[in-house]
């Protein structure tokens, strides 16, 4: 297994497919990375999954994946490891905020 410190953005391409099938716990490990480019890719994958869920299930309120993403700890990771972490890129923080907002809109 590749140590978290050695993960590069290109390593995440395969996870995108897994993530779109179901939220994957490996995203939590990757999210802990200190590399901003890795975190940027991870939050893009998370937002992509949320947006696909919205597209597939347009009329479903609340978002069908919300409980899964919450139970998998993804919402906490987005908040604690991205939104309120000072050394996270502005892009990653914005995407994390959008992701959480889209999950919880129209509650």
**Structural domain contains residue 36:** no
Q: Which of 23, 73, 27 is nearest to 49 (CA)?
A: 23
pLDDT tens per residue, range 55-107: 766 666 666 667 777 877 888 888 988 899 888 899 999 999 999 998 888 55
Task: Say which residues have a Cβ less than 8 Å from residue 70's Cβ, sequence separation at least 6.
Answer: 103
Number of domains, the chain: 1
**Structural domain contains residue 60:** yes
Q: What is the mean pLDDT of the chain?
A: 76
**Structural domain contains residue 107:** yes
Q: What dihedral angle (degrees, nearest 10) is formed by the CA atoms of 37, 41, 46, 48?
A: 140
**Structural domain contains residue 20:** no
- For residue 104, give its domain range: 44-107
**Structural domain contains residue 30:** no
């Amino acid at each position: 297994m590749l140590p978290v410190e050695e993960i590069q953005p290109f390593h995440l391409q395969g996870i995108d497919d897994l993530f779109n099938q179901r939220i994957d716990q490996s995203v939590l490990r990757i999210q802990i990375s200190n590399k901003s480019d890795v975190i940027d890719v991870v939050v893009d994958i998370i937002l992509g999954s949320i947006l696909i869920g919205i597209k597939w299930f347009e009329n479903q309120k609340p978002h069908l994946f919300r409980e899964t993403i919450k139970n998998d700890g993804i919402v906490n990771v987005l908040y604690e490891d991205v939104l309120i972490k000072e050394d996270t890129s502005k892009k990653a923080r914005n995407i994390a905020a959008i992701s959480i907002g889209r999950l919880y809109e129209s509650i």
